[in-house]
Amino acid sequence: MFNRRQWLQIGALGAAGGLVSPPWSARAHEPGAPSSSSPLLTPFVDPLPVPPVSEPMMQGKTRIHTLVMRAGLARLHRDLPKTVIWGFNGVYPGPTIRAVRGEPVVIRQINRLPLLNASETHAMPDALPAVHLHGAHVAPEHDGHPRESIPQGGFRDYHYPNTQRGAALFYHDHSHGHTGRRVYFGLAGTYLIEDPAERLLNLPRGEFDVPLLIQDRVIRSDGSLEYVLDHASRESGVFGDLILVNGVVQPFLRVKARKYRFRIINGSNARIYDLQLSSGRPLVQIGCDGGLLPSPIERSVIPLAPSERADVVIDFAAVPVGSKVILRNCAGCSGSTAEIMQFEVAESAQDDSSLPDCLSPWENLSYDPAVPPRQFELNRRTVNGQAVWVINDRIYSMSQPPMATVRLGAIERWRFVNPTNHPHPVHIHLVQFQVLNINGVPQDPARHGWKDTLVAPAGGEITVIAHFTGYTGRYLMHCHNLEHEDLGMMADFEIIP
């Protein structure tokens, strides 16, 4: 199935220095841009792929999926040779899992990935993969903690009860020290929990409900992916100079002149997007990390940090048939990362879907103001001349005692202070939290919705509040800039009875 060149790619996946960057790639570098660059590629020539939906085997009410993590081939752009990726079932992105609230899912993850070679481990110990369902409310042994990794050639069954609200989650590798590399090479996929009660809202469904997994990559002219952990990327994380949606560089989607629902997931290692439509019309946000917002919010720009999700409705009925709308990223407002994908409004259509004013009930979590929030400092240190990232002065290690111990059932405020000059998207496992404060400014939690990731801005701070229910045991919290995570900005917390 692989030819010689691709076998060489497998052998040298990400090995820095194997290839020099092509002489014709003369693109200006934006801040945080990779040190080498991809060839120039024509945008909007490949159709948006919709990842395959995994078909489960039923065992009673439980849906059982089997996924094999392995190398595979993918065409990332019309004008590029095929790329060796690591994917769930060898596809990138992984198959979409569709779950129903209240109906359990088991995913058997089989590890047939190649071992990392010495140039890929950067003197860090090699670590086997683990799979985390990001945003899920699950028992600790099914949360994909890197301590419970999957042996090569072996498997692990992850049990997901799906008792939480309907939401767009995503599953990805969570290996110790190597999450950045493994996700970059393709180990991520969408997991949608549908709440049958939400059907009454009559939001766009079926082919009009489309997941968009946005990621940036550097792709060499031979098609191989370039992942380099060097001085610059240890600082800012690994950035790409090409934007891919569902595994294809700047795709297009032919749409009907009607409403669509897009589950936008930022699956990038480090890049924060500012999503915007070229039509100048606002995006209508109906949901975020933890499911539907109380009511739709029109936003001219939606900022989206790594692992944040935005559930968005775009009504193409307002756009003349035959015209095009570009989903832009105004964070890098020029160059190859300024445009994400293009919608071509191809035909008029009946639209029987709705966009109700009330989407879901909301209640603020309440707390005792006399109890101060728990405090975490997100900081940078230098060890042997190299940047590392710490929380409360600790580099993550799996053998440390937990940084915080929380009573089961407690409602706690957590404050994250960021004295560094990088934004840190803070992610807490197990819970969906509410946002109380950003940089000293009190927030209306209902406008943020239920979140599992929030940026602590450079030089700023955030306070969130969460209800720790359901399970006791060890969970993680970390920066979701995957290089910061791999280089130490992560901690265990433990929920005790």
The pair of structure tokens assigned to 320 is: 């003349």
CB closer to Cu ion, 134 vs 145: 134
Q: Does 307 bind ligand C2O (CB under 6 A)?
A: yes
**Least distance to Cu ion, CB of residue 306, Å:** 9
The least CB distance from residue 351 to ligand C2O, in Å, is: 34
**Smallest distance from the beta carbon of 424 to ligand C2O, in angstroms?**
13
Q: Which does 424 bind (CB under 5 to 8 A by kind): Cu ion, ligand C2O, none?
A: Cu ion
Tell whether residue 484 is a contact of Cu ion (CB under 5 A).
Answer: yes
What is the smallest separation between the CB atom of 132 and Cu ion, expressed in angstroms? 5
Contact between 481 and Cu ion per CB under 5 A: yes
x/- map, 131-150, Cu ion, by CB under 5 A: ---x----------------
Are 179 and 168 spatial neighbours (Cβ–Cβ below 8 Å)? no
429 binds ligand C2O (CB under 6 A): yes
**Interface with ligand C2O, residue 82, by CB under 6 A:** no
Least distance in angstroms from the C-beta of 145 to ligand C2O: 9
316 CB contacts (<8 Å, ≥6 apart)? Answer: 255, 256, 257, 258, 259, 260, 325, 343, 345
Please report whether residue 453 would count as binding Cu ion according to CB under 5 A.
Answer: no
Pairing relationship of beta strands 209-219 and 259-266 according to DSSP bridges: parallel
**Which residue lies nearest ligand C2O, judged by its C-beta?**
134
Q: Which does 174 bind (CB under 5 to 8 A by kind): Cu ion, ligand C2O, none?
A: ligand C2O
> How far, in Å, CA of 129 to CA of 238, rounded?
19
Report whether the peptide linkage leading into residue 93 is cis, meaning its omega lies within 30 degrees of zero: yes
Q: Which two tokens stand for residue 241?
A: 């100079």
- Candidates 71-79, 190-198, 256-264, 474-482: pick the segment binding ligand C2O (CB under 6 A): 474-482
**Residue 478 near ligand C2O by CB under 6 A:** yes
Contacting residue, 82, 101, 132, 263, with ligand C2O by CB under 6 A: 132
What is the C-alpha to C-alpha distance for residues 42 and 251, in angstroms, rounded to an integer?
10
* Residue closer to ligand C2O (CB basis): 111 or 453: 453
CB of 310 to Cu ion, least distance (A): 17
Min. distance of Cβ 475 from Cu ion in angstroms? 9
The mark string for 434-473 relative to ligand C2O (x by CB under 6 A, - otherwise) is ----------------------------------------
Q: Which of 479, 482, 487, 495 binds Cu ion (CB under 5 A)?
A: 479
The reply on whether position 234 binds Cu ion by CB under 5 A is no
Cα 221 from Cα 80, distance rounded (Å): 7
Number of C-beta neighbours around residue 319 at 10 A: 19
- Verify binding: residue 182, ligand C2O, rule CB under 6 A: no
- Report if residue 174 touches ligand C2O, rule: CB under 6 A: yes
What is the nearest approach in angstroms of ligand C2O to the Cβ of residue 492? Answer: 11
The yes or no reply on residue 476 touching ligand C2O (CB under 6 A) is: yes
Contact segment (CB under 6 A) with ligand C2O among 43-51, 105-113, 121-129, 475-483 equals 475-483
Q: Is 261 in the site for Cu ion (CB under 5 A)?
A: no
Amino acid (one-letter) located at 124? M
Are the CB atoms for 13 and 184 separated by under 8 Å? no
- Residues facing residue 245 across a β-bridge: 214, 248
By CB under 6 A, residue 137 contacts ligand C2O: no
CB 262 within 8 A of CB 210: yes
Q: What are phi and psi of 129, to 5 degrees?
A: -75, 155
Distance CA 151, CA 169 (A): 25
Judged by beta carbon, residue 241 or residue 485, the one nearer ligand C2O is 485
> Which residue in 429, 448, 451, 478 binds Cu ion (CB under 5 A)?
429
Cα(308)–Cα(272) distance, integer angstroms: 9
Options 156, 424, 451, 478; binder of Cu ion; rule CB under 5 A? 424
Q: Is residue 172 part of the contact set for Cu ion (CB under 5 A)?
A: no
CA dihedral 290, 296, 302, 306 (to 10 degrees): 10
Site of interaction with Cu ion (CB under 5 A): 134, 424, 429, 479, 481, 484
Site of interaction with ligand C2O (CB under 6 A): 132, 134, 172, 174, 307, 427, 429, 476, 478, 480
